[in-house]
Chain A
Amino acid sequence: MNNCRHGNGHWGHGHHHGRKPEYVVALAGNANVGKSVTFNQLTGIDQEIGNWPGKTVERAEGLLQYRGLRIRVIDLPGIYSISALSTEEQISREFIAHDHPDVVVNIVDASALERNLFFTLQLMELKSPLILAVNQMDLAAKKGISLDFHQLSRELGVPVIPLVAIQGKGIVELTDAIIAAVCSPPEPREITYGKEVEERIGRIIGLLPEGVGGYPPRWTAIKLLEGDRDTVWEVKKLSPDTVARITAVRTELETIHGEPGATILSGERYHASEQIVSRVMTHRSAGETRLSVTEWIDKIALHPVLGYLLLTVMLGGLLVWTFIVGAWISATLTALLSHIAPVEPLITGSLGEIIFNGAWTGLVAALTLIIPYVIPFFLLLALIEDSGFLTRFSLMLDRGMHKMGLHGKAIIPLVLGFGCTVPACMSCRIIESPKQKLLAAFLVTLIPCSARTIVILGVVAAFVNIWWALALYLLDFILIIILGRLAFRVLPGESVGMIMEMPEYHAPNPSIVLGQTWQRTRSLIGIVLPSYIIGSIVITAAFAAGLLEPINTLLSPITVLLLGLPIMTGVVFVFGIIRKEMTILALATLFGTTVFSTVLTPVQLIVFALVTMLYVPCISTIVVLAQEFGWKQALGITVVETGLAIALGAVAFRVLSLFM
């Protein structure tokens, strides 16, 4: 095996890493086929999750060390096609076609081979050095499905490895196959499609100018026949005349079939896939009358009454956690940590003290956010995602979300938002269309997060009454619906209806759930911790440097004239940018009392809470928005919400003063 390092041909692909060459293996396949489990099995715990440059799709990367070889394993997003309609598809396509991994392991679900092979055929068109890993063999066997792997391997011309990844079965064989493939890359057979299509592929290959994109000519020809925009553009660059001739060939085919080229090719691939499956699969129906576990659970989870009940219990549980358990953990943690050093913002003292206070307050703020709100929420998200419940919840809520221009999946970020806005914004990744993703993130920043809840409860419920606190909540929800509908009209881009696969339920896999929770938490810490600590130091230092008065004066036209608040609140709002509940601490420090009703009138208390609820999302939110969507969008949302807060605050002050 080790001779392979001195082997031939593929040195160009291997990256030199110290003495040993490093190879790259990509895992590709549909969603829900057990890609992540296989990835974990191959790489053990040595993995890192990262974002693709400039884009926001999660990918995992790990190292497989075996027989002296170092192999980088990359887990590509789960996709159904490489027609480049979605970001995930585009990324996978670029990676496979352009970065030339040494081996592509295509993981397929044994029970749904026909659909899975559709994707395999596209990888074969790309002439990827392919290994087919047929996973979930145990489940397929239970359904009475058996497969002839030798025949399948002959049909495709690539190694085929049966797997039960969750039990680790077949992983050794897969690893051996990967190593062997690194040495001598498998060459997939050319699968021929229907005569009408093949004849035109041949004609287009004949027309192709030299050196188009460096892809296999057959792939390029097929893409041109599909009218793929990127490929057409590449050919146009080289020779505009050829494009016209190729388009004529495509139109000819489209006229015969009365369908767009891409649909014709999809039909051809599915036809080829059906043929292959019919030759390799035998299916004896074993007691199909018995309801499967999935159907049983679906009877409850998708029931018009029970389903919503289940949903209410889950969402209710999350809210109870946020308001009671989370709040308690947060308060206890703050109390414990304040024994070590005070966590109120310090505005007088030596520079060292102030910097330390800033850093410490920031650290405490981060910890009291991550431990009670982020980790449990991410854990629950991973649990319902991995078990299969997430798709059912999305299905049940799809209709309601339509009212705000979103679809079912958006319920996840919106609910997470009650805990903390930052992870909620990150979870908007599960929504496909960029427009709906941004819209969901915008609405999430308006959801009253735990910090805003603390302000509303601590200022309004405590010193005015609970009804005004509830009224503020109600106002917020009305605003979310109105702004959602408005933003939906204003934002550019198309909104995509939901099409998703409904996986079968299974017991969540602890290593996947914990791994995903940890990876998400880790990338969140990377944002929250520095923004809190640095932001906190900067603001406290600014005050220590005597900027307190100037800031108050600068903001006084807004705070005093528009909102009718005391001039001191200018600084309080600036503190709130770090974290909203800091406004309460700052208010207490500056006024020297915790009984706010002695320094502010009821109207002022309500206006103060209203503005705090709506203005600038906290600094971590701004950073995470910038990371996910870009600075322009992040600042846009900030400006809109601040403007809204001031406008509504000013109106509230004037209206409420009339009768309070």
Chain B
Amino acid sequence: MASEQLEEYLESILDIEEKNGIAKTSAIAKCLKVAPASVTEALQVLSEKGFVNYEPYKGATLTDQGREMARKVKRRHRLLEVFLTDVLHINEENVHDEACKMEHTLSDETECALCKLLKAPARCPHGSLIEACNRKVDSCSACLAESESLSSCTRDEPLIPVTTLAPGQKGTIAFIRGDNSVVQRLTDLGLTLKTEIQLMRKAPLHGPVEIAVRKTRLAIDHEIADHIFVTARKEKCG
């Protein structure tokens, strides 16, 4: 089975999992518009490769490895969508399909260059959050300053935007995306790197999130909070 197809499967499992918790075979088949039999076959392959935990008749969930892979492809997909829309002005209806084809062939280097060119966008044209990259940088200005020494270091742990934490869950700030003034405003309020923060509450309707940091509570606009990425564990340099 081609790696492209496997990546497509991982992506749709991620989507379904985020919505329903477990990706049922039928749901995957519907999402990818393929026969349920092909899904079963693909899930077996993915399971053998260690990307998913597959239980016949129940469905599949991603392993950590699989999730990282899926997120990486998703990130490329959405970056490409931004590129196709904002730079090439491709008709919005075609953007998704184009990106679907291109996402599997993108190299790390091109992905990084694309991110820099687009000034580290936060969301795709359809409004979905773009994942943080896995380079070991503390903020986007490190990339934009083009220091070469950085490129060899990648993170071990996937970064999660603080807005996807569950209420009450804690994380350590690892990366803040965006221009200097956003970063500065956040750091001035105590949201510095390596600080432990806790998501207290999410306001309804995609409203601001409430974060506990340094014994204070902050309400932060959802779009700004999307820029704050946390990890639960330590990171190392490779």
Q: Which of B162-217 contact A (CB under 8 A)?
A: 180-181, 183-190, 192-193, 195, 201, 203-208, 210, 213-217
| B141 CB-CB contact with A under 8 Å | yes
Contacting pair A502 B193 (CB below 8 A): no
User: When each residue 1-18 of chain A gets 1 if its CB lies under 8 Å from chain B and 0 otherwise, what string results?
Assistant: 000000000000000000
User: With a CB–CB cut-off of 8 A, which chain A residues contact B145?
Assistant: 254-255, 258
B214 touches which one: A115, A398, A497 (CB < 8 A)? A115
| B35 CB-CB contact with A under 8 Å | no
User: When each residue 395-425 of chain A gets 1 if its CB lies under 8 Å from chain B and 0 otherwise, what string results?
Assistant: 1101110000001100000000000000000
Q: Which residue of B lies closest to A302 (CB)?
A: B201
Contacting pair A114 B215 (CB below 8 A): yes
Contacting pair B207 A266 (CB below 8 A): no
User: With a CB–CB cut-off of 8 A, which chain A residues contact B224?
Assistant: 497-499
| A660 CB-CB contact with B under 8 Å | no
| B219 CB-CB contact with A under 8 Å | yes
A254 touches which one: B141, B185, B214 (CB < 8 A)? B141
A304-B204, A395-B210, A399-B207 known; A502+B190 contact, CB < 8 A: no
Contacting pair B208 A498 (CB below 8 A): yes
A81 touches which one: B139, B188, B203 (CB < 8 A)? B188
| B45 CB-CB contact with A under 8 Å | no
A83-B184, A258-B138, A502-B210 known; A395+B192 contact, CB < 8 A: no
User: With a CB–CB cut-off of 8 A, which chain A residues contact B188?
Assistant: 80-81, 83, 85, 118, 266
Q: Which of A85-128 contact B (CB under 8 A)?
A: 85, 111-115, 118
Give the distance in Å from the alpha carbon of A594 to the alpha carbon of B142 in the complex: 73
Contacting pair B218 A499 (CB below 8 A): yes
User: With a CB–CB cut-off of 8 A, which chain A residues contact B203?
Assistant: 302, 395-396, 398-399
Q: Which residue of B lies closest to A504 (CB)?
A: B217
User: With a CB–CB cut-off of 8 A, which chain A residues contact B137?
Assistant: 258
| A270 CB-CB contact with B under 8 Å | yes
Give the distance in Å from the alpha carbon of A398 to the alpha carbon of B221 in the complex: 8
| B29 CB-CB contact with A under 8 Å | no
Identify whether the interface residues of B are mostly helix, strand, loop, or mixed: mixed
A254-B141, A399-B203 known; A501+B184 contact, CB < 8 A: no
| B118 CB-CB contact with A under 8 Å | no
Give the distance in Å from the alpha carbon of A497 to the alpha carbon of B190 in the complex: 17
B219 touches which one: A266, A267, A498 (CB < 8 A)? A498
Contacting pair A407 B214 (CB below 8 A): no
| B105 CB-CB contact with A under 8 Å | no
| A657 CB-CB contact with B under 8 Å | no
| A391 CB-CB contact with B under 8 Å | yes
Closest Cβ of chain A to B41, distance in Å, is 43
Give the distance in Å from the alpha carbon of A39 to the alpha carbon of B208 in the complex: 32
| B220 CB-CB contact with A under 8 Å | yes
Most A C-beta atoms less than 10 A away, residue of B195, B213, B221: B221
Number of interface residues of A (CB under 8 A): 41
Identify whether the interface residues of A are mostly helix, strand, loop, or mixed: helix
Contacting pair A114 B219 (CB below 8 A): no
Closest Cβ of chain A to B129, distance in Å, is 15
User: With a CB–CB cut-off of 8 A, which chain B residues contact A408?
Assistant: 208
A111-B215, A115-B189, A115-B215 known; A258+B141 contact, CB < 8 A: yes
Give the distance in Å from the alpha carbon of A529 to the alpha carbon of B123 in the complex: 51
User: With a CB–CB cut-off of 8 A, which chain B residues contact A500?
Assistant: 218-219
Closest Cβ of chain A to B213, distance in Å, is 8
Q: Which residue of A lies closest to B206 (CB)?
A: A399
B150 touches which one: A113, A254, A258, A260 (CB < 8 A)? A258
Contacting pair B204 A498 (CB below 8 A): no
| B17 CB-CB contact with A under 8 Å | no
Q: Which residue of A lies closest to B143 (CB)?
A: A258
Other than A263-B187, A270-B187, A396-B204, give 20 A-B pairs with Cβ distance below 8 A.
Answer: A83-B184, A111-B215, A115-B190, A257-B138, A258-B139, A258-B141, A262-B180, A267-B193, A270-B195, A308-B204, A391-B219, A398-B207, A399-B205, A400-B205, A497-B221, A497-B224, A499-B189, A499-B220, A501-B219, A502-B217
Top 5 nearest A-B pairs (CB, nearest first) are A258-B142, A497-B221, A81-B188, A304-B204, A502-B217
| Cβ contacts A to B, 26 pairs, < 8 Å | A112-B216, A115-B214, A115-B216, A254-B145, A259-B142, A263-B139, A263-B184, A263-B192, A267-B187, A302-B201, A302-B210, A304-B204, A307-B204, A308-B204, A395-B219, A396-B203, A396-B207, A398-B221, A399-B205, A399-B207, A497-B220, A497-B221, A497-B224, A498-B221, A499-B218, A499-B220
